[in-house]
Amino acid sequence: MVAQPLEPDMTPIAPLALLDTLLDTWKPQIGDAFAGYRNHCQRMAAFTLALLPGASDDDRRKIAIAACFHDLGIWSDGTIDYLPPSSRRARDYLASQGLQAWTPEVELMIDEHHKLRRFKDPAYPLVEAFRKADLIDVSLGLIKFGVPGDTVRALKAAYPNEGFHKTLMGLAGSWFKRHPLSP
């Protein structure tokens, strides 16, 4: 999978509208971390699209849904062990929209996004692209998986960090202090 610059109508600066709509629902729970999480999600979605040139409209919707929910359990359920509640929230949303057929793929996108090893099931190409996109963002663009440096820089400028990585480190530190035997 070779990353391509985004097509003109899918510039990295254009946000996914569905992603913003979904995130706005959770703004009260996310609170002060909202801008940072929103920007992280938009960068991830754009990196995923850069890794999947020619993504269909359905793929773009799946990416937006997975991006919204992938770390949401941190705030919705107040836990650093957030993958299960994040997947559950995505599953509930998909059911509410009559999109249950998308559940396995979206849940895999969420559940696998922190894995360091490649996701190899060719039936779900979005999962591997999404995993790579998160690693691009978490590494602050040091790891690119072939996404052009200009695209990485444009996304970082369009969607600034807003303290997102610092927020995650603070939440992790707070969790470890309260639950030293449950990292």
Contact in structure between 109 and 62 (CB atoms under 8 Å): yes
- pLDDT band for 9, please (50, 70, 90 cuts): very low
| pLDDT above 50 (res 183) | no
In whole angstroms, what is the distance from residue 118 CA to residue 65 CA? 21
Distant-in-sequence, close-in-space partners of 133: CB < 8 Å, separation ≥ 6 = 43, 44, 45, 47, 48, 50, 51
| pLDDT above 70 (res 129) | yes
Task: Summarize pLDDT for 26-46 with one digit per residue, the tens.
Answer: 999 999 999 999 999 999 999
Q: Where are the alpha helices (DSSP H) in 12-163?
A: 17-25, 27-30, 34-51, 57-69, 73-76, 83-96, 103-111, 125-138, 149-158
**Quick one: average pLDDT of 152-161?**
93
Task: Summarize pLDDT for 43-91 with one digit per residue, the tens.
Answer: 999 999 999 988 999 999 999 999 999 999 999 988 878 889 999 999 9
Q: What percent of the chain has pLDDT over 90?
A: 68
Question: pTM score, two decimals?
Answer: 0.86
Indicate the range of 8-17, 89-98, 102-111, 123-132 predicted with least confidence. Answer: 8-17
| pLDDT above 50 (res 4) | no
Instruction: Round the average pLDDT of the chain to a whole number and report it.
Output: 86
- What pLDDT sits at residue 115? 86
- Check residues 54 and 145 and name the one with the higher pLDDT: 145
Helices 17-25 and 57-69: crossing angle in degrees, nearest 10, is 30
**Quick one: average pLDDT of 127-136?**
96
Distant-in-sequence, close-in-space partners of 181: CB < 8 Å, separation ≥ 6 = none
